[in-house]
Structure 1
Amino acid sequence: MSQDGARLANAAATLIGVPFRLHGRNRVTGLDCVGLVAASLEAIDLKPVTPRGYHLRNTSIERWLGCAHRSGLKTASGAPISGDIVLTVPGPGQTHLLIMESSRSFIHAHAGLRRVVRQPFDQSVKPQNIWRVKPRAKDT
């Protein structure tokens, strides 16, 4: 894991307890899963590019996938590790981002619980996409 991966996981952990708010981008008024990722990336000095116009249910997310690469992330494969951003599909028409804290737990903005939480990661979950922070000069 890179230094930035560890920093990203730690930044996400500081947001546990923040209220959930659809399209939320402010830790005081609330965050959704995209807002959680954006706030965590900003905390490690990256400039996130966030999608606009999405809903709790979407038929396609293709137009937003490029936001990850423009935000300083690279596509990864294999099992997710600490600091990875994982795109999951929890139900039909639903997509969700989470940040891996370790190989066994993740942090995400939980709409049902109405806040950012830590939860165990089910190893049987098949991520749709995994991104890692691109190495920067200080990580090499």
Structure 2
Amino acid sequence: MICSRAIPVGEAIAAAARTLVGARFRLHGRERATGLDCVGVVACACGRPKAAPSGYALRGGRAEDFAAMLGAAGLARVDDAMPGDVALVEAGASQFHLIVMTHTGFVHADAALRRVVERPGGVPWPVIGYWRMGEA
């Protein structure tokens, strides 16, 4: 289990996401050793890689489908972003992407760089919403 009682859940998720930095990008990837996509990064950071969905495309789909997927994984939509929260962003026309917020920026699977990276600063894409693990 990645989240101890001594560390708030969000802090543990952000720390777990940071351990994934450097992993290679792989569509539908769910293991650091073999590669991760954005869903895999979120699933591994939350300690649930085997429960992550697969079979989706990099482009297409609907934001509502991603929101439902996050809800089904036990995350609740929140208004403000804190470390460990998951942001659903629109990285391009009909191209949805998940990122994990940190204290200094965010961690995500960068398809162009072909690896998981942590970017400092604000999110450069339109944010559709934030989801948090453990919210009622």
- The answer as to 2:58 corresponding to 1:53 is no
Unaligned runs of 5+ in 2: 1-6
Range moving further from structure 2, 26-35 or 52-61:
52-61
Q: Tell me the alpha carbon deviations over residues 70-112 of structure 1, each in whole angstroms, 9 at most, x when there is no partner.
A: 222111013x22111000001111110000012x410000001
Q: Tell me the alpha carbon deviations over residues 48-72 of structure 1, each in whole angstroms, 9 at most, x when there is no partner.
A: 7423321110142433422212222
> Aligned partners of 1:90, 1:121: CA distance in 2, in Å?
16
| Matched residue, 1:71 | 73
TM-score by length of 2: 0.84
TM-align CA RMSD: 2.2
| Matched residue, 1:112 | 112
| Matched residue, 1:92 | 93
Distance 1:73 1:92, change over 3 A: same
Unaligned runs of 5+ in 1: none
> Aligned partners of 2:22, 2:69: CA distance in 1, in Å?
26
Contact 1:85 1:100 in 2 (8 A): yes
| Matched residue, 2:121 | 121
Contact 2:106 2:123 in 1 (8 A): no
> Aligned partners of 1:7, 1:50: CA distance in 2, in Å?
19
Runs of 4+ in 1 over 3 A off after TM superposition: 46-49, 123-126
Distance 1:123 1:98, change over 3 A: closer
- The answer as to 2:10 corresponding to 1:5 is yes
Identity of aligned residues (%): 39
TM-score by length of 1: 0.82
Alignment coverage as a number of residue pairs:
130
